[in-house]
Structure 1
Amino acid sequence: MSIEESILGIEKNLNNNVKLIAVSKTRNIDEMEHAYEVGVRDFGENKVQELINKTEKFHKDVRWHFIGHLQRNKVKYIVGKVDLIQSLDSVRLLNEIEKRYGKENLIANMLIEINIGREENKSGIYEEELQDLLQACEKCKNVKIKGLMCIIPKGTNEQCKHYFKKAKLIFDKLKEKSYQNISMDILSMGMSGDYKIAVEEGSNMVRVGQGIFGPRKYK
């Protein structure tokens, strides 16, 4: 199946209110061009250097999403280049982003990444750490929190549903509250293997890589 056919097939499974992010990590510009030609304008990267290289070479109307673990010493490189940082996972990272974006008088739009499956090998905060991070976000001038992101553990459809439901519950509870600098507009969950279940459970942003481009090619 071609990249174009894959995208059109995925879009048939998405409601109008669900945004598709084409995860383009390890993919070349030619492959990304196929996605662009079908109308995809949101691309996700998880390595800072790769993101910067692509922003210089690819279409200027593209919205870039940083979806990987962001190291504090790399924040300075992505200021002004990313539309949405989807992986805020600590107060220390928040403070670095606030400082770097403040210097340029820019706003960083971000999602808080929740480690919903409490997996030690994954980034993201645990649910009980959320309030401290939200309170720190409220004090910021150059950060706007737009919602939540999660990567769930691999498992059966029922297990996937369980974690997606759990994330949606947290999202809905936060949506009812009133915070400074924080709105619950985006719930980014669901990837190539489970995006259909994620959408059923309330996701409005899915991050699909292999489902669009085929098996990943690592150098």
Structure 2
Amino acid sequence: MHDIKGHLHEVLASLPDGVRLVAVGKYHPCEDIMAAYDAGQRIFGENHVQELAKKQPVLPQDIEWHFIGHLQTNKVKYIASYISMIEAVDSLKLLREIDRQAAKHDRVVKVLLELHVAQEDTKYGLSLDACRNLLEEGSWRALQHVQICGLMTMASNVDDEEQIRSELMAAADFFDEVKEQYFGDSPEFCERSWGMSHDYPIAVECRSTIVRVGTTIFGERKY
């Protein structure tokens, strides 16, 4: 039996003040999420709308759900009524759809803009220039039901710690740039979500405020 409580507390103990943990329960049953919940965890992440839609109604309603996968615009309507944060917004089109669906529920949904800094084509996200262009274009400012709270990224899935550190520091430096230029008067723009099971200690060095950890807590996927 995988000691979810023990592994959760090990991860939490390793995080400095100001860094929050998203426990990623994808491909794990509700019982596993409840084990982490009973151990005190309240923020959970899922990658797939269909899986989240099955879990959310039957799990405690004070869970703060983060959607951390690639989100198609036609799926936003299924999570808009309860999602706390959508961490991987990679287009103005998606941003507008989140705003439209959140408005139907009279909610403001927090989002992070996803950057592509990894040297891997398989990763989603905006290039730094594309992110600059989106922010400079400015129409996001008129959206009343989304709040851009920061940036999210993933480093390359490699063993080279210096490469990981270089990529995540590029994201951290870019955060400073856009904070100063576009969000100087917005204290809500404060989140840097990077770091997963294999690299979150490096991510913390690179000024992450949110780490997304699954395998280390829950073990290998169950289904």
- TM-score grouping bracket, smaller chain normalisation: over 0.9
Q: CA deviation at 1:181?
A: 7.2
Q: CA deviation at 1:131?
A: 2.3
Tell me whether 19-28 or 7-16 shows the greater mean CA deviation. Answer: 7-16
Task: Describe the superposition over 1:63-117 as per-residue Cα deviations: whole angstroms up to 9, x where unpaired.
Answer: 0000000001101111121000001000111121122122332211100010112
Q: Do the aligned residues in 2 keep the contact of 1:144 with 1:182 (CA within 8 Å)?
A: no
Partner of 2:176: 172
Partner of 1:200: 205
Find the aligned partners of 1:104 and 1:31 in 2 and give their Cα distance.
Answer: 30
Q: CA deviation at 1:184?
A: 2.4
Find the aligned partners of 1:104 and 1:33 in 2 and give their Cα distance.
Answer: 27
Find the aligned partners of 2:161 and 2:120 in 1 and give their Cα distance.
Answer: 18
Unaligned runs of 5+ in 2: none
Partner of 1:131: 132
Find the aligned partners of 1:182 and 1:87 in 2 and give their Cα distance.
Answer: 20
Q: Secondary structure at the match of 1:111?
A: strand
Equivalences for 1:95-106 in 2 at 5 Å?
A: 95-106=96-107
TM-score, reference length from structure 1: 0.94
Partner of 2:122: 121
Question: Over aligned residues, Cα RMSD in angstroms?
Answer: 1.6
Q: CA deviation at 1:8?
A: 1.2
Partner of 1:186: 191
Sequence identity, in percent? 38
Equivalences for 1:1-219 in 2 at 5 Å?
A: 2-117=3-118, 119-134=120-135, 135-155=138-158, 156-179=160-183, 183-218=188-223
Q: CA deviation at 1:178?
A: 4.0
Q: CA deviation at 1:177?
A: 2.9
TM-score, reference length from structure 2: 0.92
